[in-house]
């Protein structure tokens, strides 16, 4: 780039030795002769100052060391879409080509033009899925050229390029009538204050990724008027605050990613609570610590987020059980991830995860792991036992006519009464405080039956509740003279007659499966 640039370069995106920046100033910087560009680096550690030089402010940066002055000839202002496309797909030697898989949103994309597929789609007009990540794309180029050259493209990765204005994006998109997936992450875009894109520009678009683009919530709603078919929207790391409720936009969105936007709180979430199709909401690292649905009392379901099935709350500040209690009010919630929160780390993490399962009755997946029926049963029985003494002291009673736990207890344990109806109220013997360091208080007296071997005499053994299923099998192998690998274990409880619970995980303990005194181990081979 020569040194005779016009002032309209301000706002443009540039690349300098592989580092991206935005031009904030164009002009002279006395006493040094010649023209300079003042740039704000995406990586503030790359800069030297805040846009000032010898007491004069030439431009402003969001970081005190985010700015530098460079000569114009050192700045790469990028190339148009087709130039980048041809460089990557048309001119690559076959011997050097390799097939690559990139992920856009949740969709794995095979980048056409690499490896064995280069022959099959050597013509640009046949391209459907493309990745131009980090190819210095800065503009659409001449109007109509894209449409005539590669009209069949459906998936485009334009992340980490030099696009600086939404108008350049629409200039590309309006020539790709079949465009369904578009990734614009890490392009610092300026969005138009005026009318949205012309009708039809994004008519087929279903997935849009705008992570780290600097977009605001008001700009999202403004531009969303032109995204009538959008189903997935990714807005990670934009410092977004939800300022208003979507009105007649985003009504088909099924997935919304708002992670790493630290300004979001529960009141802002209520503004998006009535998106009718929203099934998956990603709120990782937003700093949220509290939640309360004002329209639903204890034990009731909220009308908010009516379709929400999956919620991601990783890396937040959740430390109170009241937050988890509120999640049980979501009528469709089946999957929850809450990794690396104060409530789910530390020495009590395993116990707390079991309590979460017990507190959210319809949950099927926790932290990306399926909740098996026997795990839910164990978690709910443990929870029922753990708070049984508190329940009784609060007015709980085995006799339904005398069972009147306090409002404070029911507010802290909204599902407790439901668990009592499911498994029966805890008996007095279950409420006795255990002495965990005495082995005799950890021993279970269990019957051992072989239902498929009527000639095999029933046994009775005392086993530690901490004993793993693998060790139980080892003991039974010696007693019954049967190889360990042939043994299948289950158990039944007098509290649930006629129902067998499989002991299928050899690494778990009897306690994990809530095996209790008087239960019967069922052994088959």
Sorting pLDDT into bands at 50, 70 and 90, what band is 514?
Answer: confident
**For position 118, what pLDDT does the model report?**
46
Q: Token pair 């937050």 is at which residue?
A: 323
Q: b vs e for 124-146, b when ≥16 Cβ sit within 10 Å of the residue's Cβ?
A: beebebbbbbbbbbbbbbeeeeb
Enumerate the H helices of 179-228 as residue ranges: 217-223
- For residue 505, what pLDDT band results from cuts at 50, 70 and 90? confident
Query: Cα 290–286–309 angle (5° rounding)?
Result: 75
In the structure encoding, which two tokens stand for residue 487, read together?
Answer: 């043994």
CATH no. for 443-524: 3.10.20.90
- Rounded CA separation 341/348 (Å): 12
Size of the chain in residues: 525
- Give the pLDDT mean for 343-357: 93
Residue 189 has pLDDT above 70, yes or no: yes
* Phi then psi dihedrals of residue 386, to 5 deg: -60, -35
Question: How large is the average pLDDT for residues 281-295?
Answer: 96
Instruction: Kindly compute the dihedral angle of the four CA atoms of residues 473, 474, 480, 482, in this order, to the nearest 10 degrees.
Output: 90
What percent of the chain is predicted at pLDDT more than 70? 90
- Report the alpha-carbon distance of residue 291 to residue 396 in Å, rounded: 28
Give the pLDDT score at 101. Answer: 67
CB atoms within 10 A of CB 410: 18
Q: Give the pLDDT confidence score for residue 3 in this predicted structure.
A: 55
User: By the 8 A CB rule, do 44 and 66 touch?
Assistant: yes
Could you please report the per-residue DSSP string of 130-161? EE-TTS-EEE--STTHHHHH-TT--EEE--SS
How confident is the prediction for the chain on average, in pLDDT? Answer: 90
Q: What is the pLDDT of residue 102?
A: 64
Angle at 39 between CA 35 and CA 44, to 5 degrees: 150
Q: How far apart are CA 147 and CA 483, in angstroms?
A: 69
Count the neighbouring beta carbons within 10 Å of the beta carbon of residue 193: 8
Mean pLDDT lowest among 63-77, 175-189, 326-340, 416-430: 416-430
Better-predicted residue by pLDDT, 328 or 18: 328
What is the DSSP-derived secondary structure letter of residue 471? H
Q: Tell me the C-alpha distance between 158 and 80, whole Å.
A: 12
Extract the tokens encoding 274: 């009535």
Lowest mean per-residue pLDDT among 81-85, 108-112, 264-268: 108-112
Right CATH number for 12-74 from 3.40.50.300, 2.30.30.190, 1.20.1250.20, 2.40.50.140?
2.30.30.190
Cα-Cα-Cα-Cα dihedral sign, residues 416, 417, 420, 426: positive
The gap between the terminal CA atoms of the chain, to the nearest Å, is: 79
pLDDT score recorded for residue 435? 45
Of 127-131, 147-151, 268-272, 498-502, where does mean pLDDT reach its minimum?
A: 498-502
Structure confidence at residue 454 (pLDDT): 87
Averaged pLDDT for residues 390-401: 94
pLDDT tens sequence across 133-167: 999 999 999 999 999 999 999 999 999 999 999 99
Cβ neighbour number for residue 62 with a 10 Å cutoff: 9
Residues contacting 425, CB < 8 A, separation 6+: 396, 397, 398, 403
Would you state the pLDDT for residue 63? 93
Of residues 516 and 269, more confidently modeled: 269
Residue 221 has pLDDT above 80, yes or no: yes
pLDDT at 194: 73
CA torsion through residues 174, 175, 181, 182, sign: negative
pLDDT above 90: residue 500: no
pLDDT at 434 over 70: no
pLDDT in the model for residue 109: 63
Whole-number Å distance between alpha carbons of 209 and 282:
13
Q: What pLDDT, on a 0 to 100 scale, did the predictor assign at position 369?
A: 96
**119 has a pLDDT exceeding 60:** no
Secondary structure element (H or E) that encloses residue 26, with its range: strand 19-29
pLDDT, residue 509, reads: 86
Q: How far apart are CA 153 and CA 175, in angstroms?
A: 10
pLDDT at 288 over 80: yes
At residue 367, the pLDDT reads 97
What is the rounded CA–CA span in Å between residue 58 and residue 43?
A: 20
Q: Over range 101-107, report the average pLDDT.
A: 66
- pLDDT of 2 over the 90 cut: no
Quote the pLDDT of residue 153.
Answer: 97
Does domain 79-220 fall into CATH 3.80.10? yes
In whole angstroms, what is the distance from residue 237 CA to residue 254 CA? 20
- Judge whether 79-220 and 254-365 match in fold: yes
Count Cα atoms within 13 angstroms, Cβ side, for 53.
Answer: 17
How, if at all, do strands 335-337 and 310-312 pair? Answer: parallel
Report the DSSP pairing between strands 369-370 and 365-366: antiparallel
The model's pLDDT over 466-498, given as tens digits with 9 standing for 90+, comes to 889 999 999 999 888 999 999 999 999 887 787
- Looking at the domain 254-365, which fold is it? 3.80.10
Q: Which of 396, 434, 430 is nearest to 412 (CA)?
A: 396
CA 269 centroid distance within chain: 16
- Residue 419 DSSP class: H
- Structural domain spans, the chain: 12-74, 79-220, 254-365, 374-423, 443-524
Please report the pLDDT score of residue 197 as a whole number: 72
Ramachandran angles phi, psi of 385, nearest 5°? -75, -40
Tens of pLDDT, residue by residue over 42-78, are 999 999 999 999 899 999 999 999 999 999 999 999 9
Mean pLDDT of 167-181: 96
**pLDDT at res. 121:** 41
pLDDT number for residue 443: 84
Q: Say what the pLDDT of residue 5 is.
A: 67
Q: Examine the pLDDT at 95 and tell me if it is beyond 60.
A: no
260-286 mean pLDDT: 97
- Are 444 and 515 in contact by the 8 Å Cβ rule? The answer is yes
Give the per-residue pLDDT at 279: 98
Helix axes 416-423, 373-386, angle to 10 degrees: 110
* Residue 430 pLDDT class (50, 70, 90 cuts): confident
CA 410 to chain centre: 31
pLDDT at 117: 42
- Up-side HSE of residue 490: CA atoms within 13 Å toward CB? 14
């Amino acid at each position: 780039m020569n040194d005779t640039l016009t002032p309209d370069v301000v706002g443009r995106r540039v690349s300098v030795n592989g580092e991206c920046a935005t031009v904030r100033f164009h002009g002279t910087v006395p006493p040094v002769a010649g023209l300079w560009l003042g740039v704000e680096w995406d990586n503030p550690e790359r800069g030297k100052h805040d846009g000032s030089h010898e007491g004069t402010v030439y431009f402003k940066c969001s970081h005190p060391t985010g700015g530098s002055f460079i000569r114009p000839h050192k700045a790469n202002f990028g190339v148009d879409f087709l130039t980048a496309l041809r460089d990557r797909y048309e001119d690559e030697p076959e011997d050097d080509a390799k097939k690559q898989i990139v992920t856009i949103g949740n969709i794995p994309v095979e980048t056409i033009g690499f490896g064995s597929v280069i022959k099959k789609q050597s013509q640009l007009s046949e391209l459907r899925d493309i990745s131009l990540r980090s190819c210095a794309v800065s503009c659409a180029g001449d109007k109509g050229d894209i449409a005539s050259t590669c009209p069949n493209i459906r998936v485009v990765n334009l992340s980490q390029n030099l696009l600086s204005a939404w108008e350049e994006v629409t200039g590309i998109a309006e020539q790709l009538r079949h465009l369904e997936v578009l990734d614009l992450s890490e392009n610092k875009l300026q969005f138009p204050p005026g009318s949205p894109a012309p009708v039809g520009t994004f008519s087929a678009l279903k997935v849009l990724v705008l992570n780290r683009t600097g977009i605001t919530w008001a700009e999202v709603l403004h531009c969303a008027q032109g995204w009538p078919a959008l189903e997935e929207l990714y807005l990670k790391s934009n410092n977004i605050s939800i300022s208003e409720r979507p009105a007649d936009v985003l009504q088909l969105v099924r997935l919304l990613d708002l992670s790493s936007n630290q300004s979001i709180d529960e009141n802002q979430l209520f503004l998006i609570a009535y998106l009718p199709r929203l099934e998956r909401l990603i709120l990782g690292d937003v700093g949220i610590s509290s939640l309360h649905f004002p329209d639903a009392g204890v034990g009731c379901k909220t009308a908010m987020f009516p379709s929400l099935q999956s919620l991601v709350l990783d890396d937040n500040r959740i430390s109170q059980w009241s937050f988890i209690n509120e999640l049980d009010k979501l009528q469709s919630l089946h999957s929850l991830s809450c990794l690396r929160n104060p409530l789910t780390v530390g020495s009590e993490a395993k116990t707390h995860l079991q309590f979460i399962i017990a507190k959210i009755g319809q949950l099927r997946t926790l932290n990306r792991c399926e909740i098996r029926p026997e795990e839910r049963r164990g978690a709910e029985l443990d929870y029922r036992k753990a708070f049984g003494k508190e329940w009784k002291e609060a007015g709980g009673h085995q006799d339904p006519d005398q069972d009147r736990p306090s409002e404070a207890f029911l507010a802290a344990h909204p599902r407790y009464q439901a668990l009592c109806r499911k498994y029966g109220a805890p008996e007095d013997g279950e409420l006795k405080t255990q002495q965990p360091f005495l082995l005799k208080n950890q021993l279970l007296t269990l019957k051992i039956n072989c239902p498929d071997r009527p000639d095999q005499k029933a046994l009775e053994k005392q086993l530690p509740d901490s004993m793993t299923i693998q060790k139980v099998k080892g003991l039974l192998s010696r007693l019954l003279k049967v190889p360990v690998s042939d043994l299948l274990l289950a158990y039944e409880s007098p509290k649930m007659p006629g129902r067998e619970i499989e002991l299928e995980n050899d690494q778990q303990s009897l306690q994990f499966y809530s095996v209790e005194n008087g239960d019967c181990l069922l052994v088959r081979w």
